[in-house]
Chain A
Amino acid sequence: MPSIKKYFVRISEQPLNPTEAMDFVDSNSNGASTLFRGVTRDHTQDRKVLFLEYECYETMAITKLEQVCKEIVAQWNVKVAILHRIGKLYVGEVSLVVAIGSPHRKDSFNACQYSVDRIKQIVPIWKKEYFTEGSIWIEDESGFRPF
């Protein structure tokens, strides 16, 4: 019996297609699917955001996204697809898509939350925020969990 690939990751400069991620996780044995989209917000605290620029260490970022997926499929009976966009993103554009499919809803919700949290802890992707008065790299020392 051929093994079925349970995860899929991609980093792209092109706009993300959530349907592609959902299609990957859909299966006749799944009764639940969860879709998370990270979207560029028009403000951070009182700063008006013009656009974001995402940069990554691509080969390591792919490896770390795959690590997140492996952690997930080891814990829950799910399929997972993660798409991350890099480059310049304007307000309203989607930077992250996480899709989870599972037989039952609880695993789907839990795995989705875990994915997004872990991406923000270990995947070498950085965003620079451009706002009306300047720009700043967003670096969250407390959220960074390399080990």
Chain B
Amino acid sequence: MEIKVLFFASYREKTGIKSDYFEINPGATLGDLIQIISRRFPNIKTDTSKIVAAINEEFCGHNTVLEPENIVALIPPVSGG
């Protein structure tokens, strides 16, 4: 199945895209998806285990299983305020 992924701030600049769809196997986790993304964009982060992501606007751990229609966002360390 395909999962939509959003990229913001430094991740958007490193990948050159704001969003794209990535093919994953049924039962794949957020961590699996992040590995797929980092294979396509090796420069995104040196230690991919430290990439933080949200599923449907909620922060989730890498072992979270993805469901159809999930929207994933990769969230760089925040710096609002």
Contact with A along B35-59 (1 / 0, CB 8 A): 0000000000000001010100101
A60 touches B9 (CB 8 A): no
Interface size on A, residues (CB 8 A): 32
Does B3 belong to the interface (CB within 8 Å)?
Answer: no
Does A63 belong to the interface (CB within 8 Å)?
Answer: yes
Does B70 belong to the interface (CB within 8 Å)?
Answer: no
| Prevailing SS type, chain A contact patch | mixed
Does A35 belong to the interface (CB within 8 Å)?
Answer: no
Number of A-B contacts (CB under 8 A): 81
What 17 additional pairs, Cβ within 8 angstroms, besides A125-B81, A126-B79? A55-B9, A55-B12, A56-B80, A57-B8, A57-B54, A59-B57, A96-B81, A116-B81, A122-B59, A124-B8, A124-B54, A125-B79, A126-B76, A137-B9, A140-B77, A144-B52, A146-B75
Q: Residues of A with Cβ closer than 8 Å to B? A: 38, 54-57, 59-61, 63, 84, 95-96, 116, 119-128, 137-141, 143-144, 146-147
Q: Residues of B with Cβ closer than 8 Å to A? A: 6, 8-10, 12-13, 50, 52, 54, 57, 59, 61, 73, 75-81
Rank and list the top 9 A-B pairs by shortest CB-CB distance, nearest first: A125-B80, A126-B9, A144-B77, A60-B57, A139-B77, A146-B59, A138-B79, A137-B10, A127-B79
